[in-house]
Copies of this chain bind each other. A is one copy, B any other.
Amino acid sequence: MPYALVAYLEPIGSPGALGHEEAAHAHAAFLNLVRGIDPVLSERLHADNERKPFSVWMLAASDSRTRERRPALRLTLLDDSLFAPIVGSLLRDEATTLRLGPNRYRITELATHPSAHHLAGFGAYAELMDQTLAPGRLIVRFVSPTAFRSQDRDVLWPDPRLVWQSWVRTWNAHCEPDQRFGEAALLGEYVTGVTVRRHEVRTRRVRVSEGVFAGFTGVAEYDLARVPEPGRRWLAVLARFSFFSGTGRKTTMGLGQTRPSNLT
A residues neighboring B (CB under 8 Å) = 153-154, 156-157, 159, 192, 195-203, 214, 216, 218
Question: In the complex the two chains form, is B203's CB within 8 Å of A196's CB?
Answer: yes
Q: Which residues of B contact A214 (CB under 8 A)?
A: 197-198
Q: Considering the chains assembled together, what is the distance between the CA atoms of A85 and B110 in angstroms?
A: 75
Q: Considering the chains assembled together, what is the distance between the CA atoms of A156 and B197 in angstroms?
A: 9
Q: Considering the chains assembled together, what is the distance between the CA atoms of A195 and B196 in angstroms?
A: 23
Q: Which residue of B lies closest to A201 (CB)?
A: B201
In whole Å, how far is A84's beta carbon from the nearest beta carbon of chain B?
Answer: 43
Question: In the complex the two chains form, is A154's CB within 8 Å of B203's CB?
Answer: no
Question: In the complex the two chains form, is B202's CB within 8 Å of A154's CB?
Answer: no
Q: Considering the chains assembled together, what is the distance between the CA atoms of A201 and B198 in angstroms?
A: 11
Question: In the complex the two chains form, is B154's CB within 8 Å of A195's CB?
Answer: yes
Q: Which residues of B contact A157 (CB under 8 A)?
A: 157, 159, 199, 201
Among B154, B159, B195, B202, point to the contact of A201 (Cβ < 8 A).
B202
Q: Considering the chains assembled together, what is the distance between the CA atoms of A154 and B160 in angstroms?
A: 11
Question: In the complex the two chains form, is B202's CB within 8 Å of A153's CB?
Answer: no
Among B159, B200, B202, B203, point to the contact of A203 (Cβ < 8 A).
B200
Q: Considering the chains assembled together, what is the distance between the CA atoms of A154 and B156 in angstroms?
A: 17
Q: Which residues of B contact A192 (CB under 8 A)?
A: 153
